[in-house]
Amino acid sequence: MVREIRLYIEGGGDTRYGKERLRAGFSKFFGALVERGRGNNIRWVFIMCGPRDAAFKSFKQALKDHPSAFNILLVDSEGPVNNKKPWAHLATRDPWPRPKNASDDSCHLMVQTVEAWLLADLLTLQQYYGKNFAVGRLPKAKDVETIPKAALEPALVSATKATQKGEYHKIHHCSDLLGKVDPALVRAKAPHCARLFTVLEGLLA
């Protein structure tokens, strides 16, 4: 059985504060799995890496430094995946070759960016932003991964700019919202997120 799960995640900007805020958000988003794992003495480590290139570099180093852990790379797809497996998508887009000792299950995508996960739970967004939140300005989709990257963050900015919290901020608001949105809704509307949960659940079995 795996004793340590390490996730190397794109995001958090260049500051320690930004990375810590987003790390806390992701930790809460996966909170139920983290608690299950800890009950089986499985250690979880969430590493916010800033830019996507840094995430890939850190993941490759982790394969050498933490060979007994299950190391996971989690980055934005930055566009449609078109039924490709994550490593195949990244090999075409970035291009990043799959490391020899990395499995298919070690690479996961937020399609098309993490903001799609937030749009899977519109009720939580409404509750978080409150009065003057213009939910009608947000794209609606049964599969949030079909929403183009170019539409995601601008739509959130437009919908939130008249609210008391102010327009959507990638560090402050995304970090908070990741800890509040319902993972079950995100899994239902984002197939690649569902895939990640399935892999993590398999590690805990």
Q: Residue for token digits 């079909």?
A: 146
Q: Residue for token digits 């983290």?
A: 34
Residue 98: per-residue pLDDT: 97
Task: List the structure tokens of 72.
Answer: 């996971």
Burial class (CB in 10 A: 0-12, 13-18, 19+), 100: exposed
User: Hey, where are the domains in the chain?
Assistant: 4-114+189-204, 116-173
- For residues 78 and 109, the answer to whether their CB atoms sit within 8 Å is no
Predicted confidence pLDDT, tens digits, the chain (205 residues): 799 999 999 999 999 999 999 999 999 999 999 999 999 999 999 999 999 999 999 999 999 999 999 999 999 999 999 989 999 999 999 999 999 999 999 999 999 999 999 999 999 999 999 999 999 999 989 999 999 999 999 999 999 999 999 999 999 999 999 999 999 999 999 999 999 999 999 999 8
Q: How many residues does the chain have?
A: 205
